Structure 1
Amino acid sequence: MHFSAALLAVTAALGGVAAHPSRHNHAHLHAKKDLEARQIEFKKAGRPQPSPEPVRIAAEPTTTSKAARPTTSAAPPPASSSSSSSSQPSTGGGQGFVPFCGSDSTRAARNSNKRATYDEIMYKGNTGSPGQWGCNMKIIDKADAHAYKYVSKFVSTGKKYTCACFNKVGPNELLDGFWYSAVEFSVEKAGQDDVYMAFDSDSQGGCACGPGGEVPRTHLGQLSGTWFEWDWGSTPNGGNSGADVSVLVAGAMGLPYYGMSIAANGKVCSWVKSDGSNEDAYMPGMEDLDGIGCKGYHEAVLEVLLGDDF
């Protein structure tokens, strides 16, 4: 499922670029930069749809994000800073499953109007509850991982790495989630600092990761680094899930790659290293391709290894 290509171009009109997850039946978005016309092209399920400007996904009230992107002259207006998910919150084990975004009634309200697209091509999916953008993802304790359907485990293969996770659709109902961070965390010592994240169903987004204590950003302020793109329990695709590694943003902006490997239920299905070697990952020049990465599963625990030593 790759939407990094899609977001890759939301900033085409801004003079920048973004990334995407592989097609294993996920909502597929694509966008590429047109240096002259600076137009944006989005596509889902292989069907392109041109648009002269970022597409607004109208559905829920405008919300705000905790880590709003840096303001630049070329960037969209910044959102105010109020977060739905704190950075690396401490969690106690043994809680079992805790509903996302509060009560079931709150979640029902959130899901009552999920589809809002340009010519019904783009799919918003689950971005949290009204006023709580990003509450469809959270850090959990290892002891509670078994209680959730959709889980990712982040492990460092050496030095410290920091990740920022986001929904495909941002807090202001635009396809600009890669400007924001719903949850941030760092991992350093394998087996000690591993981070477990759980996701609600029908969530599409990514986690941008890089070495050190801060996630790399482009000169325009978008999250860069290496992306772990995910699509969990896709409603329009029968509950299928998928994931991939993408360096489309970094590649488009001439920025370095960082090692990342994804394994679904114990099987490695997408990886890249800092030297550019890769398998089933989205690399520069692959913006138009689909079906790359991890697919063929519904529920899963994905293991995301950060660094080259895998």
Structure 2
Amino acid sequence: MHFTTPLLLAVSLLTTSAFSSPTPTKPQHGHAHGHARRQISVGASASISISIPSASSTSASTSSGSSSDWTSTPASGSESTSGFGSSTNATGSGDTYIGNVGSPWGSNIIQVSSSSASSYKYVMELTLPSSTSSDWTVVFWNKYGPDGKMDGFYGYSALSFTLSPGDTKYVAFDEDTQGAFGAAEGSSLPTGSSGIYDCTWGEFDFGSTVNDEWSGFDVSAIQAQKNDATVQGLQLCDVLGGTCSSITADAASVDNAYTEAEEDVGGIGGNISAGAVRIKAVVDYSG
């Protein structure tokens, strides 16, 4: 992703950016873009371009209404893990760090109900404005795919669902999860000839074990711009801390987010110290 120094690339999916280093270990949620391509070009197999959703891509539960208390956080040590699969052991370091991808793969990212969202440690609320004219598809993936390569963004899906205009849904993440999501109008996300999701990305790193459980996030249009694809509007905000990262359609307005011009720039996005996280995502964001 685009986190380069803060979460030790826990989120580094495709590029090389990062949120500023909050600790001596410089945790980074690096770009998912550049790093991934270098990794893929050296050792990925042809199968990478094939979309193989995991069994966990179906939601654990659904929610279509907004919750006024989803920002509440559970007491430390009492966070719910209901619906998650088994955690996988972290391996590697730096750009090749692999955190928890869930067993079965993708079961570290689940949809939860509005009423249960506040019981989880890491939660994202996703809303599609009622002013939007059609349904949008949302797909989440881990930085590392089910084959153990840095190719999770090559058509894989840990979780997918549809947002209709006015919908709000909730997603919970297990400890040490690094990945991203895309959202686009219609029934699927656009992909380029290589199989990579060619859309605006919302990148995240939750509870990075290698970085003392810091978290981070950013919005990136790098992949879409590199392939002359549509840049969708997207905003991510740390509800508890106030930091936001956003891009409007066609990158007309960019705030604390990544465009192709910042591919190698660090410090963009948000850094969050250890503890519960609440991210509010607005799909088809228009400012």
TM-score band, normalised by the shorter chain? 0.7 to 0.9
Residue among 165, 170, 184 paired with 1:196:
170
Whether contact under 8 Å (1:242, 1:293) holds in the other structure is: yes
- Where in structure 2 are the equivalents of 1:1-310 lying within 5 Å? 2=2, 7-8=13-14, 19=15, 22-24=18-20, 25-28=27-30, 32=34, 41=38, 53-54=42-43, 76=48, 78=50, 82-87=54-59, 89-90=61-62, 97-102=80-85, 106-107=86-87, 110-111=88-89, 114-116=90-92, 121-129=95-103, 132-157=104-129, 158-159=131-132, 160-179=135-154, 180-190=156-166, 193-265=167-239, 267-276=242-251, 277-298=253-274, 299-310=276-287
CA distance in 1, matches of 2:184, 2:193: 16
CA distance in 2, matches of 1:77, 1:301: 33
CA distance in 2, matches of 1:27, 1:272: 18
Q: Name stretches of at least 5 consecutive residues in structure 1 with no aligned partner.
A: 9-18, 34-38, 43-50, 57-73
Task: Using the TM superposition, give the Cα deviation of residue 7 of structure 1 relative to its aligned residue in structure 2, in angstroms.
Answer: 4.2
Task: Using the TM superposition, give the Cα deviation of residue 196 of structure 1 relative to its aligned residue in structure 2, in angstroms.
Answer: 0.1
Give the letter for the 2:2 counterpart: H
- Tell me: CA distance 1:116–1:211, structure 2 relative to 1, closer, same or farther (3 Å): same
- Tell me: CA distance 1:302–1:40, structure 2 relative to 1, closer, same or farther (3 Å): closer
- Tell me: CA distance 1:40–1:220, structure 2 relative to 1, closer, same or farther (3 Å): closer
Moved more, 175-184 or 258-267: 258-267
- Tell me: CA distance 1:82–1:305, structure 2 relative to 1, closer, same or farther (3 Å): closer
- Tell me: CA distance 1:307–1:232, structure 2 relative to 1, closer, same or farther (3 Å): same
Whether contact under 8 Å (1:21, 1:244) holds in the other structure is: no
Q: Residue in 2 aligned with 1:61?
A: none
- State TM-score, norm by structure 2: 0.77
Q: Report the RMSD for the aligned CA atoms in angstroms.
A: 3.1
Q: Residue in 2 aligned with 1:13?
A: none
Whether contact under 8 Å (1:100, 1:200) holds in the other structure is: no
Residue 232 of structure 1 aligns to a residue whose secondary structure is strand
- Tell me: CA distance 1:220–1:88, structure 2 relative to 1, closer, same or farther (3 Å): farther
- Tell me: CA distance 1:20–1:210, structure 2 relative to 1, closer, same or farther (3 Å): farther
CA distance in 2, matches of 1:21, 1:164: 22
Identity within the alignment, % = 29
Whether contact under 8 Å (1:161, 1:186) holds in the other structure is: yes
CA distance in 1, matches of 2:32, 2:236: 22
Q: Stretches of 4+ moved more than 6 A in 1?
A: none
- Tell me: CA distance 1:261–1:27, structure 2 relative to 1, closer, same or farther (3 Å): closer
- Tell me: CA distance 1:187–1:7, structure 2 relative to 1, closer, same or farther (3 Å): same
- State TM-score, norm by structure 1: 0.72
Residue 201 of structure 2 aligns to a residue whose secondary structure is strand
Larger Rg: 1
Task: Using the TM superposition, give the Cα deviation of residue 168 of structure 1 relative to its aligned residue in structure 2, in angstroms.
Answer: 0.2
Task: Using the TM superposition, give the Cα deviation of residue 88 of structure 1 relative to its aligned residue in structure 2, in angstroms.
Answer: 7.2
- Tell me: CA distance 1:136–1:29, structure 2 relative to 1, closer, same or farther (3 Å): same
Whether contact under 8 Å (1:88, 1:184) holds in the other structure is: no
Moved more, 21-30 or 277-286: 21-30
- Tell me: CA distance 1:89–1:228, structure 2 relative to 1, closer, same or farther (3 Å): same
Task: Using the TM superposition, give the Cα deviation of residue 87 of structure 1 relative to its aligned residue in structure 2, in angstroms.
Answer: 4.8
Whether contact under 8 Å (1:21, 1:242) holds in the other structure is: no
- Tell me: CA distance 1:100–1:202, structure 2 relative to 1, closer, same or farther (3 Å): farther
Whether contact under 8 Å (1:126, 1:203) holds in the other structure is: yes
Q: Name stretches of at least 5 consecutive residues in structure 2 with no aligned partner.
A: 4-8, 21-26, 68-78
Q: How many residues align?
A: 255
- Tell me: CA distance 1:40–1:213, structure 2 relative to 1, closer, same or farther (3 Å): closer
